Structures are given as C-alpha cells and as structure tokens.
Amino acid sequence: MRDARTTPSSLRKSYSTFMNSAAQWLNRNGYAISRSPRIVVEQHEGSALIGLSEALHFREWPYRAGSKKRIDILATVQETVSLQDRVCTMATTRVNYFRMDGRNAIPTEMLHYDFVAPPTRMHPICHAQSAGTLLSRSEWPDTFSRNRTVDERGLGERGQNVRIPSAFVNLPGLIMILASDHMQEDHWMDFSEFCLPHFEGFSCMTGSAEMKSLIGSNGLCVWAWYEIQPHPKAE
C-alpha cells in the first residue's frame, strides 16, 4: 500500500508547512522574505511535480554577515518526486542575486543547482552551475516587480557548462544555504536548530536507495555538509 505521506496532497502540506514556518522565523528576525508562495503539485506518471507559484523574494538581505550593503535575491525550485518510492529523482533550484542602488536592482549573479538520479556519465549527481539569464519576469513576485527597476546591461556570456559538484539542494536546502551565507552567527545557530527537525523529518531528501548506498545516508543533504554545534548552555 502506498505510504500516505507520498500523495500529492500530503507532499503539498509538507512543503507548505516548512515554507510557512521558515518564512515566519525569517521575517520575525529581520530577514525579510515575501509571503510564502503557493506550493504547486501536479501528478504525472507516478511522480509528483513540485514547484512554486512565483519566485521567493528575499528583500534587502545583508550582502554577508555584518555587512551594511544590501542585496535582493529571487529563487525558485522545481522537483520531481516518485510517489511509490518517496524519493526525489530530479531537482532544479534557480537563484538570482541583485545589488541594490536605491530602487535599481543590478543583477550580479545567476546560479542554479541540479540533481538527477540515476546519475549520467560525466554529469555530477548534484552540482551548482552558473546561469546566463534571469528568472522570467512572469515568475517575479509583486514585491519585487512593483518596487524594483532592473538594469540588465551588465549581463554577458558566462561559463554555463561549468558544473561544480555540490550538496543536494531542494526547497529546505536553498533556505539553509542562504541563511548560512547572509545571517549573523547567532541567528544562523538559532535558525539551523529550527531547521534540523524539518530536514530530518522531510521526505524526498536523498534520492534513491542506490544513491544512499553510494553516498551514505543523508550524505547528499545540505544540512549534512555543515558543522553545526549546539549553543553553549548557560551555567
């Protein structure tokens, strides 16, 4: 019998619960993110295709921890999950970074993270890759498109075929990466403690049984690639 957690509706609930909880924490602690977009789940030939109704908008985040310079980030995720095996078989995460000059948003970096199983020859199981184009304007949330003027003149040819092996990045993984890159350390510790139960209980994290035997349990997950020490307890 199919595990109840693998139905399209239960996957939608799982992803929505994580995203809503993460957005509440981020906004409460001064890391502005647009209201959680609707999680879109479509069933296709035994798999669930999972995406976002619009891109996430991380508004005026610190360029890095402690920096007064601010950046905007747009990001979206698409995943394919086997309903029978409850594993992710494909994931693409696209991220655009913008330097802010008043209301003018100047794109500075476009990345995407890919995962596909089973692996193909000469293709890392999980990898990060430079992109040459921005997300489609149809994916921009209103919080970005209404309040930003985008100057695309600096975009040029990029090494789009350079694939850098990476951790497995899906929706929770994306949030974890951005938190580690831009938060101050005490916030990172609090947020990682908040996220870990979601990671450990989140289905579809490590691909097929074949991948687990090659990489090891949870070895593909973003959170497994960080050394996360608990807060020192007050005496």
Band of residue 137 on the pLDDT scale cut at 50, 70, 90: very high
Phi, psi torsion values for 14, nearest 5 degrees: -60, -50
Percent above pLDDT 90 for the chain: 34
Band of residue 1 on the pLDDT scale cut at 50, 70, 90: very low
Residue 84 belongs to some domain of the structure: yes
Query: Mean pLDDT over all residues of the chain?
Result: 82
Residues in a beta bridge with 74: 57, 96
Closest CA to 22 of 150, 172, 159: 172
pLDDT > 90? residue 58: yes
Closest CA to 100 of 73, 65, 133, 72: 72
How many domains does the chain contain in total? 1
Residue 232 belongs to some domain of the structure: no
Residue 141 belongs to some domain of the structure: yes
Residue 230 belongs to some domain of the structure: no
The reported pTM is: 0.86
Q: What are the respective helix, strand and coil percentages of the chain, to the nearest 5?
A: 30, 30, 40
Residue 134 lies in domain: 4-225
pLDDT at position 235, please?
42
Query: Using one digit for the tens of pLDDT, what is the confidence trace for 140-170?
Result: 999 999 888 998 876 766 656 788 888 888 8
Residue 129 belongs to some domain of the structure: yes
In contact, 40 and 52? CB cutoff 8 Å: yes
Residue 234 belongs to some domain of the structure: no
pLDDT at position 216, please?
55
In contact, 35 and 16? CB cutoff 8 Å: no
In contact, 92 and 78? CB cutoff 8 Å: yes
> Exposed, middle or buried: residue 220 (CB in 10 Å: 0-12, 13-18, 19+)?
buried
pLDDT at position 11, please?
86
Band of residue 233 on the pLDDT scale cut at 50, 70, 90: very low
pLDDT > 80? residue 197: no
Residue 153 belongs to some domain of the structure: yes
Residue 231 belongs to some domain of the structure: no
Query: Using one digit for the tens of pLDDT, what is the confidence trace for 99-111?
Result: 988 888 999 999 9
In the DSSP assignment, the letter for residue 31 is: -
